Every structure is written in C-alpha cells, then in structure tokens.
A and B are shown apart, each in its own frame.
Chain A
Amino acid sequence: MNRTAARSGHFGAWQLCAAGLLCCAAAHGADEATIPDLTGVWMIDNAPTALHPTPGSAVPLTGWGHTQFEHNQAMRVKGDLSFDLAATQCASPGAVRMMTLPYRMEIFQRPYQVTLLFEWNHLYRLINTRGYAMQAPYPMAIGISNGHWEDKTLVVKTTSLTGNTQLDSSGLPHSDDLEVTERFRLDGPSWLTDVVTVHDPKAFSRDWSVTLRYHKVAASGLSEDICLDRIDVGQPAFPRALD
C-alpha cells in the first residue's frame, strides 16, 4: 500500500487549514478560540515502572495476558530481556510506554497536528487533528493517532499498533488488538494530565485507565540522545528508568 492510499481521502476540513495559518482543529464541540495550548517541554511526574488502573487496583489480565506477563516476568528474573526490544535494541517502546519514560517530552501544537517529540532516542508521535482519520499502511509501535478536541480536552485514539511492545517497563503485555484512547488536559499552566484507557480484549478482561501527569519544565529544546550508542558500550537503554 502506498502512502497516499494510507490517507482517508477526505479533505474537506483541509480547505481552511492552510498549514496552520487558520484554525481548523478537529474541534468536536470545542470552541476553537479557547482550545488550550499544550505547547511546551514536559516531564512525567513520578514516572511509573508499572502501570496500574486508576484508582489503584489490579490490571485485569485475561488468561492469555496473564500467561504473557508471567513469561515476561520469569525472563526478567533470569536476566533475559529479549522480550523487551526497547531495552535490548532501542526499538520503539510503543505509544503507551514512551509516555511513561522519565525523559523530557516536547509538544508542538498546530491546528492540523499535535507533534510529540521525545528526548529518549529522538522518538516522535504525531497526532492527526485534521478532522478526518488517517489510516496506517501497516501496524507500527506508535500506531496511528487521530485526535479531536472535546471542550478543553484533546481526545486521541491510537490504533494499528504492533503486538511486540509492552505497555510499561515491568513487561506488561498487550496484543495487536490493542487500541488506546488518551485524554490530554491542562491542569493550570504547569501541569498536563493524560488519562490513558487501554482496550485490548485479548490481553485484558475489561478496559482500564491510568492517569499520567506531567509538569512543565523550562527548557529550550531537547538534548540529543542516541540509545544505540549506549548499547554499544554496554550501558542500559533506559539509564533513568527502574528496569
């Protein structure tokens, strides 16, 4: 499938977009003039190694999910992290786990797209807010993210995710049925909340949510980080993480 086939082909909402000059955010019920600006450099607060549903309770693993999790845990105990391609090879940690890393994240907000730049291994996520859904040409670790504004909340649905990443640094598995819905909302000028809802009927018996909080940090951009350079000299892929 070529790239053009990957888009929806619906361009009506584009007419006014004009590369950010005019506001055409996919604002479902949102007042475009009052859409909050998420722009800035953010750092996660109390970066979680293991995700737990909000409020605190056990992750509702299915039998398949439990087996996968036990497998990952057993391998970790043996010092075998081969299941974790991010930790061993610097592969993309996936759309959810990258939001949990204790590294800075820079957000650029435009009417047509919200761009998330991650300091760890110079990753990016792109949230399409053009007003029509982008389709992924193939599954990706970051999937394809389509978002719209509901009042002051950016609602993002991420699909087309590969099954070979984990949801967190503890080895929490998911399948390639995973779909993630995130609700980004500013809490005052210095705090950003991302409520992540996980839908994966193969791995979890019900949908569950976790709340991630970020605080704004003073920074002009992000430092260069090349994960493979660390691997080449025997250092961990995530020197700041607890794994």
Chain B
Amino acid sequence: MSRRRMRRGVVGCIRRRVFTVMAVCQFGLLTGYAVAAEPLALDFTQVPIPKLELRAGDSLDPLPADAPMPSSDPRNFEGLWVGLGAKRSVDGSPPPYLPVVRAELQRLMDLDRRGQPTVAKGTLCRPGTMLDIGINQFPTQILQRPGEILFIAEEGRSIWRVFMDRPHPTTVKPSLSGDHVGHWEANTLVIDSIGFKATPIQIFGGGNSSALHVTTRMTRANTGDKRNGDRIVISRVIDDPKFYSHPWTQVAVARWRPDLQMLEFNCEESPPAVAAEGLTVQ
C-alpha cells in the first residue's frame, strides 16, 4: 500500500495503528531507553536521553545542518515534534487490564487470528482520546502562548488544548478531546486531563471509560547533537478504574523536527475500504 493510501484511507488509519503498536513494541530496540520501574514518581533527571543512531527513515533522518534549534527556554515546547515510540509501561509489564477488558481484547484478537479483523463502530477516523505525542511516529504541532498550550496531532487530527490559567470547570461536557489544565513543576509541564467521552475497547489499543484521568508530564531534553535534535520526554499516568486495576505509566520520547510540516489526515475520504479489506465494523 502506498504511503498516500496509508495517509488517506480508513484501512490506512488502521494499519497506521498497527504500526503504532509495532512502534510501541520496538521502542526499546530503537532507543535503548530504560527507566526505573517506579510508575508514579518518575524522576526525569535520571532518565537517559536516547541519542539515536540516525538512518534514513521518517523518524530517524538526521536534521539538516542548518535546521533551527528549538527555543532555549526549557519551558517552551513550540514547534513540530515526531514520536520515536513508547514503552508500553515503565516497567515493561502489560497494562493492568481488568478481567472484563482483557477478555474483550482476547475476543478481538481471536477474531483477528481467524481472519475476521474487527473495528469498533464510532472509532474509525475519530480523534483519539489520548495525546499520542511521542507514542506514534507521526508529527505533533505544539503552539504555545501565555495561558494556553495547544497540541495538534496529525494522526486523527487530535487536539489537546491545555489551559495554564484556569482549573477544570465544575462540570465538563464529555468529549473525545477532554479537558486539560496544566502547570509547571520546575521545567516539567504537568497536564491534568479529564472529561473524556467513553470509547470502546479496540484491538489496536485504546478504549476508555468516562472516568479516564490522565496525568502527562513533559520535559525538554537536549541531546547535545544538533543533527540528532532535541527531545521531549513524556510520561503519562493512565488512571481508569473501569479499564485498569490500578494506574499505570507509559513513557515516550518525541524528537524535534523543524524540517517537517504536518500533512493531511483525511481518513474519512475512503470508508468503503473497510468493506473491501474484509473488516467488520461492530
């Protein structure tokens, strides 16, 4: 399948999600990244910043010699960043799914093994509830201004608008985007996210209840190598008592890519591809 089709088709969306899962699995190989198995008290000063062995490829291209550097202000995340992948959890263990969630995932995987891949109705071509900066290998544009930091992900056209100057509203209308408030802990941006609409369990990952509460921490890191580019180290604590037995932490890294611009995500253009590829929408 051409990259164009992958960008534009529904099947492409799904395959991209497979790719995301692969990227998650391969994260350790890509980066040699490892962190202490302490899910709720990650000390970023102890996190080794991966300096990649650059090679041709979307994520691993060396930056042009005259590419600009990101802001020297460690609290400025403005610009375009591309994910390098994620560990599925800090200690490498699988997410602590509740039995009912695990059973549904097993059912979906069994269908897939029998050649009956299934996607959940109401999930195709929608923005994800989670901010996947660093998680997948597609760009995220960050726009930062006083009182607000905006994240726009190419994948799914997901948008997180993080308010730095207000608390969560007393009543939050559930949405796929959620409600986000942020503050600084030293030079770490801490984002508290609630107000998500429930989404079904999906074989490619994802799914959440309306009780989902995410705490994302993001810290700028300098690799000291201009061609390698700077990083944002990201951890997110995922707390969803209807999906997981306890909160768990995922860690990811995004790379500074000022030479790129987000492309179009036009997944809605070709939903007939779902039927053509034998996918069942439940």
Do A and B share a complex?
A: yes
Taking beta carbons and an 8 Å cutoff, which residues of A are in contact with B?
1-4, 7, 9, 11-12, 14-21, 85, 89-92, 108, 110, 112-113, 115, 117, 121-124, 126, 128, 134, 136-138, 140-142, 144, 164, 221, 224, 226-229, 232
A14 touches B143 (CB 8 A): no
Contact (A128, B261) CB under 8 Å given A2-B57, A4-B61: yes
Complex Cα–Cα for A18 and B78 (A): 10
Among B126, B141, B262, contact of A226 (Cβ-Cβ < 8 Å): B126
- B188 to A: closest C-beta gap in Å: 19
The residue in B65, B157, B175 that gathers the most chain A C-beta atoms within 10 A of its C-beta is: B157
| Among A19, A20, A89, A140: residue with most chain B CB under 10 A | A19
Interface residues of B in 39-85 (CB under 8 A from A): 56-58, 61, 64-73, 76, 78-79
CB neighbours (8 Å) of B175 from chain A are 224
Task: Select B3's contact among A15, A92, A137, A224, beta carbons within 8 Å.
Answer: A137
Tell me whether B112 is interfacial, beta carbon within 8 Å: no
Look across to chain A and name the residue whose beta carbon is closest to the beta carbon of B152. Answer: A124
Pairs across A and B, CB under 8 Å, 11 listed: A7-B261, A16-B68, A21-B72, A108-B143, A122-B127, A122-B159, A137-B3, A140-B263, A226-B126, A226-B176, A228-B124
The reply to whether the CB of B150 lies closer than 8 angstroms to some CB of chain A is yes
Report Cα–Cα, A126/B141, bound state, in Å: 10
Q: Is the CB of B56 within 8 A of A89?
A: no
Contacts A91-B269, A92-B264, A117-B152; is A19 near B143 (CB within 8 Å)?
Answer: no
Contacts A113-B261, A138-B3, A227-B268 given; indicate if A15 touches B70 (C-beta within 8 A): no
A138 and B7 contact, CB distance less than 8 A: yes
Closest 10 CB pairs of A and B: A140-B264, A138-B4, A91-B269, A11-B66, A90-B268, A224-B175, A19-B79, A14-B68, A4-B61, A91-B268
Distance of A159 Cα from B78 Cα, bound (Å):
27
Task: Provide the residues of chain A in CB contact with B73, threshold 8 Å.
Answer: 21
Are A142 and B261 in contact, CB atoms less than 8 angstroms apart?
Answer: no
Kindly state whether residue B177 has any CB partner on chain A within 8 Å: yes
List the A side residues contacting B121 at CB < 8 Å.
232
> Which among B70, B175, B258 has the greatest number of chain A C-beta atoms within 10 A?
B258
In the bound complex, residues from chain B placing their C-beta under 8 Å from that of A12 are 66
Residues of A close to B67: CB separation below 8 A: 11, 14
Q: Which of A85, A110, A126 contacts B269 (CB 8 A)?
A: A85
A19 touches B152 (CB 8 A): no
**Inter-chain contact A141/B269, CB cutoff 8 Å:** yes
Which of chain B's residues 196-255 have a Cβ closer than 8 Å to chain A? none
Q: How far, in angstroms, from A121 to B76 measured CA to CA in the complex?
A: 28
Within the complex, which residue of A19, A85, A90, A232 is in contact with B70, where a contact is CB–CB below 8 Å? A19
Q: How far is the CB of A36 from chain B (nearest CB, A)?
A: 17
Q: Residue B32 at the A interface, CB < 8 A? A: no
A227 to chain B, nearest CB (A): 7
Given contact pairs A3-B61, A17-B68, A112-B258, enumerate 16 new A-B contacts (beta carbons under 8 Å): A2-B3, A2-B58, A11-B67, A19-B79, A21-B73, A92-B268, A122-B127, A122-B158, A137-B4, A137-B263, A138-B2, A138-B4, A140-B263, A226-B127, A226-B176, A232-B121
Instruction: Assess the B259–A11 pair: CB atoms within 8 A.
Output: yes
* B56 and A2 within 8 A (CB): yes
Contact for B141 among A15, A16, A115, CB less than 8 A: A115
| A227 neighbours in B (Cβ, 8 Å) | 268
| Complex CA distance for A167 and B268, rounded to whole angstroms | 18
Mask for B20-37, Cβ within 8 A of A = 1, else 0? Answer: 000000000000000000
Rounded to whole angstroms, the CA-CA distance of A91 and B271 in the bound complex is 10
Q: Which of A14, A91, A224 contacts B66 (CB 8 A)?
A: A14
Query: In the assembled complex, which residues on chain B have CB atoms less than 8 Å from the CB atom of A110?
Result: 78, 143
